[in-house]
Amino acid sequence: MGFEPLLIEQKDQLKDKLKEVFGYGQFRGDQEVIIRNILNGKNTFVIMPTGAGKSLCYQLPAVMLEGTAIVISPLIALMKNQVDQLNALGVNAQFLNSTLTKTEINRVKKETLEGKIKLLYVAPESLTKPENISFLKSSNLIFAAIDEAHCISEWGHDFRPEYRRIKSILEQLGNLPIIALTATATPKVKLDIQRNLQMEDADIFKSSFNRENLYYEVRSKKGIKKQLIKFVKAHHGKSGIVYCLSRKTVEEIAEFLRVNDIKAAPYHAGLDSNVRIKNQDDFLNEEVHVIVATIAFGMGIDKPDVRFVVHYDTPKSLEGYYQETGRAGRDGLEGNCLMFYSYNDILKLEKFNKDKPVTERENAKILLEEMASYSESAVCRRKQLLHYFGEVYEDPNCTDTKWCDNCRHPKEHFEGQEHIVTALEAVLQTEGRFGLKHLTHVITGVNSQYVQSYKHFELPVFGSGSENGKEFWSSVIRQAMLMGFLSKDIEQIGIIKITPKGRSFLKEPYQVDLLKNHDYGKEEEPSITDEAVNTRSYDLALFDLLKGLRKKLAKQKGLPPYVIFQDPSLEEMAIVYPTTKEELSRINGVGRGKIDKFGVPFIEAIKEYVVENDITTASDVLIKSAVNKSKNKISIIQQIDRKVDLEEIAESRNMKMEELLGEIEQICFSGTKLNLDYYVEQIMDHDRQNELYDYFLNAESDSITDALSELEDEDFSEEELRLMRIKFLSEYAN
């Protein structure tokens, strides 16, 4: 019983087994040397990015050695996935976790004791149960592999307290070699893992974290649903994952994608386990193209051909972000990683942490600051990510590949020599004992509590950079770290120190190129038609043709053109070429009423255009509104049908009148006819109603701003204008 090293007599013995069991002709990267280390019974620490083949490092030794290897993993989904794959290869692997029945647990234990199981996957919660410890003591265990080892560290992106008990439990099982594996480990996390598992003497194998086939991009959250649909439709038929912050958002986005003809399914801890397993299997079997999952729950799915990963919400840390993006392109082919960013997400996540213990809260805050910095920085994304994991990127500007948005679309550069000198002086004069926030306070001259207590207001550098704000100096300090002038203290998280390179720079400064950060609060809604996602804009010739038709129809019917169809609707028609009433009904702002009144001429015109130009129609970037599926909107329509006062509807739904009008407008613009006569009659006399009718009948657009300006002498309120616009459009357009 216990571990006995396996002597590999022939050089090709390992490769023969690799081919025989797993079907591979060659090892990748450090796999062979890691496997030999494990076969020799040595403690082994593997730091290898997602998709680089970590699992094989312990699976092959388990197959070759006599006995059972236990694999400790926090992800039930990944356990099932790996067990299924190994069983398909003819390797007897099983898992022991909360999803099994009592009968199934007894069967697994019996097979383990009989030596039939080569790999036993165990959840950390199952490992801590006394009856399981007792059973494992009686088993012939050969080594313990701890997957997702970063969970041990409170500085890891997915800290789990039960992971810190693993070492004490393993000690009860005998002197087993330990293999710790992680796809994300900063220098601090690496140190924590080694200390907790008491494997400071372990042989460490660290692969490069650079995933050359992944394209990294960050976009503003403005118009996010429109952006999401166009992005996913641009990858039509390909597998992808969309990560969201909450279960509610997961359900909402999965439904939103389904409404827009995308095969999508939700995946989070709140789902019934049968539903979750079915959704996972459907994704693996390509019955479903897109899985929408919570960031917190994670995805233990080993699917090699995921072509895109979208972060609908900002992740809690760069470790989490890196690991989640690593789900894309595990087969080495292209993978697009898109993150939607808003600083409001960071503030929201900070609020979630407010009830945590002080230390944990401060730790989480620093991780969020790193996330915000990465998102807002205009420096090469790849360089930032690799630097975070303690790796230097040799091609700092992504000059050849341009596989990130910052390198593909560079921001403004500026000469930074003087600013770098100021940043380095601040670190030097505060004796390298402080973090980013304090340093920016010193440079900008903020007399904070710490500045007062350490008398740093007396330093020569104090206030020397007050002409620029804290955000500017945070960016400068972070860029100085990327350039190697400053570094993080591994032992004391958050502390920034000057490096030998930084000291040399202060002695002989030279010109340094710095980049201005993104300001997503001010930037316009991003273009969806860039090279990264390869989508196409609308057909300008068809759009002009449809505008001409709209103008002609409007003239015939004595209506303003916008009443027929608004510009966004025409643009969509010029993208997806709807040639039937059913297809036309999927265009935003086109309801059945409009189709019956105005649809036929447009369908005929599009049909003719499609034939003349030999166009294959496909709704590749169609954005459908889920308005009719909203219980909120259905309830509002029903209450209006019952002639309930709008104030009463607003109060019953805990809404402001302005919010209710917004909901009613959306219902109206989507093509639903609403009769608000009963309410309008109460607040406006017929003369005022007629005056607004005449205005909207002759106006060039339905803009309320234009109407207020045009009718400023008439003393109409915005609410009156909005109500009359709804009444007008319901009668003429819907």
Which 3-state string (H, E, C) describes 617-686? CCCCCCCCCCHHHCHHHHHHHHHHHCCCCHHHHHHHCCCCHHHHHHHHHHHHHCCCCCCCHHHHHHHCCH
Contact of 236 with 620, CB cutoff 8 Å: yes
Q: For residue 626, name the pLDDT band (cuts at 50, 70, 90).
A: very low
pLDDT for the residue 157: 60
Q: For residue 38, name the pLDDT band (cuts at 50, 70, 90).
A: very high
The mean per-residue pLDDT over the stretch 217-242 comes to 90
The mean per-residue pLDDT over the stretch 432-440 comes to 92
pLDDT digits (tens, 9 = 90+) for 360-419: 788 888 888 889 999 999 999 999 999 888 888 876 556 566 789 998 888 888 999 999
Strand 513-515, strand 413-415: pairing:
antiparallel
The mean per-residue pLDDT over the stretch 185-210 comes to 87
pLDDT at 536 over 50: no
- Whole-angstrom Cα distance, residue 502 to residue 525? 39
Query: Greater confidence, 728 or 700?
Result: 728
The mean per-residue pLDDT over the stretch 598-607 comes to 92
The mean per-residue pLDDT over the stretch 267-280 comes to 88
The mean per-residue pLDDT over the stretch 183-197 comes to 85
In this structure, what DSSP letter does residue 52 have?
A: S
The mean per-residue pLDDT over the stretch 142-146 comes to 95
- Whole-angstrom Cα distance, residue 146 to residue 151? 10
Q: For residue 219, name the pLDDT band (cuts at 50, 70, 90).
A: very high
Measured CA to CA in angstroms, residue 205 lies from 34, 42, 195, 202, 280 at distances of 7, 12, 17, 10, 32
Question: How far is Cα of residue 530 from the mean position of the Cα atoms in its chain?
Answer: 19
- Whole-angstrom Cα distance, residue 467 to residue 681? 58
pLDDT digits (tens, 9 = 90+) for 551-575: 888 888 877 776 788 777 887 888 7
The mean per-residue pLDDT over the stretch 213-233 comes to 91
Query: Greater confidence, 269 or 374?
Result: 374
Q: Dihedral (C-alpha) 515, 517, 522, 527: value to the nearest 10 degrees? A: 70
pLDDT for the residue 257: 93
- Whole-angstrom Cα distance, residue 462 to residue 455? 10
| Residue 148 φ then ψ, to 5° | 50, 45
Query: Greater confidence, 286 or 371?
Result: 371
Domains and CATH numbers, the chain: 13-206 (3.40.50.300), 214-408 (3.40.50.300), 413-515 (1.10.10.10), 540-612 (1.10.150.80), 630-732 (1.10.10.1390)
**pTM for this entry:** 0.60
Residue 717 has which token pair?
Answer: 């309120």
Q: For residue 299, name the pLDDT band (cuts at 50, 70, 90).
A: low
Q: At what angle do helices 540-557 and 567-576 cross, to 10 degrees?
A: 130
pLDDT for the residue 624: 47
pLDDT digits (tens, 9 = 90+) for 455-502: 999 999 999 999 999 989 999 999 999 898 999 887 787 899 999 999
Q: What is the mean pLDDT of the chain?
A: 84
The mean per-residue pLDDT over the stretch 685-706 comes to 80
The mean per-residue pLDDT over the stretch 618-631 comes to 44
- Whole-angstrom Cα distance, residue 302 to residue 79? 10
Residue 58 has which token pair?
Answer: 């312990």
pLDDT at 689 over 50: yes
Least confident of 42-46, 356-360, 434-438, 631-635: 631-635
pLDDT digits (tens, 9 = 90+) for 639-660: 887 788 888 888 777 788 888 8
According to DSSP, the residues that pair with 600 across neighbouring strands are none
- Whole-angstrom Cα distance, residue 662 to residue 40? 69
* End-to-end C-alpha distance for the chain, whole angstroms: 79
pLDDT for the residue 140: 94
Strand 214-220, strand 203-206: pairing:
unpaired
pLDDT for the residue 524: 52
**Nearest Cα to Cα of residue 177 among 74, 92, 62:** 62
pLDDT digits (tens, 9 = 90+) for 308-334: 999 999 998 898 899 889 889 887 778
Side chain identity at residue 438, one-letter code: H
Q: For residue 454, name the pLDDT band (cuts at 50, 70, 90).
A: very high
Top mean-pLDDT range of 339-353, 423-437, 654-668, 698-712: 423-437
pLDDT for the residue 533: 36
